[in-house]
Amino acid sequence: MNRQMKRMQERQERQQRASVADRRQQAATSARRAGPSGGREGRKRTGARQFLKEVRQELSKVDWPTRKELGTYTVVVLATVVVLTAFVFALDYGFSKAIVNILGN
């Protein structure tokens, strides 16, 4: 099994563990929210500590790029920006020359 396959298998296992944990958390949260009234009146705001905990859990699910992938993506973005900037510059230059020729300045 090569490195990419191992990485993919590890990601799937992490996602499965995270989805099981999410389902448990959602069940617990919905049970707490239902309460005696079953409505939204008794619901309280989430505290800062709970919010940050949930943010951390969500960020752990993100499939972060490796350093090599990040470098590749950066080069692709910069090259695309340079090419599109040159294209827009050429169009702008061409249109401005055409306008000057048409108006006879």
* Domain boundaries defined on the chain: 1-64, 66-105
What token pair was written down for 83?
A: 């090419």
Blockwise average pLDDT, block size 10, the chain, 105 residues: 83 85 78 59 82 94 93 98 98 96 84
Can you tell me the distance from the alpha carbon of 77 to that of 79, in angstroms, rounded to the nearest whole number? 5
Residue 91 CA, distance from chain mean position: 33
pLDDT at 84: 98
Whether pTM > 0.85 for this model: the answer is no
Integer Cα distance of 94 and 9 in angstroms:
53
